[in-house]
Structure 1
Amino acid sequence: RTAVVDPEPGGGAARVAAGMLAAVTELHYGEETLLGLNLASAARYPAFVAELEEATGLDVGHRACGTLAVALDADDRAHLRELHAL
């Protein structure tokens, strides 16, 4: 068993999850073309962030920290296996 505990619910990632760059976890089997586009976009994003921060003088708060994908049932596990196969 794994417990994920958030000491401050409603803050952190929960507050900005709509801004995540999920290059792989938002795909479905057969979307290899989209996968290529997503990965290329994710690779270019850090340079965009640096340019934006330089132009504005503001820290945009971008962090590259990975994704934890959790399977809650057999269907979820099957979906994660399909993503892994991509």
Structure 2
Amino acid sequence: MTPSEIAELMQEIVDLDEVGVEASFFEVGGNSFLALTLLARIHERTGIMLSLLDVVRAPTAVDVSGLLARQAAEVGAAGGE
């Protein structure tokens, strides 16, 4: 998922008109419960399950997109063996 797509999900979840790709999910009104909702929606769209700790440590859409890309690469590399 692109940072923009993730920012759109964050925007829907925290019920704001706009969330930038560099905005911290927690600083725009997110909390741990809402982060679990975000993770579930990301999993539905990508099949990749991130942890709550991942979002706490990497709370922006850019950060989450990078985590997803790394996870996808790891899955791809493992599948290619």
State whether TM-score is above 0.5.
no
TM-score by length of 1: 0.27
The structure number with the bigger radius of gyration is 1
Higher helix share: 2
Q: Give the structure-2-normalised TM-score.
A: 0.28
